[in-house]
Amino acid sequence: MKKILIIFSCLIMAWGAFAQNYIDLLKLSYGSVTNAGFDQSNESTTIDHLAASLTLPIPVSDKVAIITGMDYEHVSLTLSPETNRTTIHNLVLKAGLNIQHTDVLSGTYMLLPKRASDLKNATSDDYQFGGVFYFKYQKKENLSYKFGLYGTTEAFGFFLSPIIGFYYTSPNKKWEVNVSMPVLADANYQVNDNLKVGADFKAAIRGYNLTSATFQNTYVHRINQHFALYGQLGLMDNKIQVQGRIGYGFNEYAVFENADLVDLGLPLSNVGDDRRQLSPDLSASPFFELNVIYRYQL
């Protein structure tokens, strides 16, 4: 027991450079977008989403932690009215370091190799490589700023995004705001020791290689922008968090030929994007999502 306490004490010191005052070690998600209509068609599709995220920090010293883990996503939908459902997968390995450079400045540096495809036939186009680094500046005990850069190869070309945000908790610990634009903005209120309610915005941009007989030599360019309200219940002394989200989202799963790429992918637009889309656009639609999180409080 004493050894376990020592390990967690080191973990807390090493993880102190992160914005939140907790670590989400494991997160399981299921979500569904309903009645996403195809442009210029009476047909629609549901978009089912399964995901799991595992993060394992390994303390090296009171200033350095190794970060390991993996993320997995499974998305099932119809890409075009005349085709059957397609399932695409995204598996990311996480390997990096978190370093406390000074009392107020820390840095996170991670490599993010991944496989993103329909997993029908393995090709070199399935595999992509990316990385991220960001710094956190601890302005006050309850306020920190973060800034950095994320870059990765994708099926549609190279993608680059800045990371700008902050983390804030009110003096009475009732309000929490976590922003990492352009992919996340979250504000919530602690109703009691076990219940919080909030609103958030989440975005995702990814590419997936397609190798099935229906979609040979093509890829999917996915863009999601979801706005939601949520309630979150803490169980087992708040070690288990159960979160339900309902909201409205913009979803794009556009199909292009493998050779039809952008010069540079950016969060709001692309440089050199004169591609010919092979699938119809999807309408914005309501969605729901259920998340179960194993959380360690710092």
Q: Say which CATH number the domain at 34 has.
A: 2.40.160
Confidence band of 3 (pLDDT split at 50, 70, 90): very low
Under 8 Å between Cβ of 293 and 26: yes
Under 8 Å between Cβ of 55 and 14: no
Under 8 Å between Cβ of 137 and 157: no
Confidence band of 23 (pLDDT split at 50, 70, 90): confident
Q: In the chain, how many domains are there? A: 1
- Give the pLDDT score at 16: 40
Under 8 Å between Cβ of 71 and 52: yes
Query: Can you read off the two tokens belonging to residue 73?
Result: 């996503």
Share of the chain above pLDDT 90, in %: 87
Dihedral sign of CA atoms 60, 93, 241, 197 in order: positive
Instruction: Please state the pTM of the whole predicted model.
Output: 0.89
Under 8 Å between Cβ of 283 and 42: no
- Give the pLDDT score at 22: 75
Under 8 Å between Cβ of 208 and 245: no
Confidence band of 276 (pLDDT split at 50, 70, 90): very high
- Give the pLDDT score at 297: 73
**pLDDT of 86 over the 90 cut:** yes
Q: Domain containing 274: what range?
A: 2-297
- Give the pLDDT score at 2: 40
Q: What's the average model confidence in pLDDT over 278-293?
A: 96
Q: Which residue has the tokens 């998305």?
A: 75
Dihedral sign of CA atoms 6, 9, 13, 16 in order: positive
**pLDDT of 5 over the 70 cut:** no
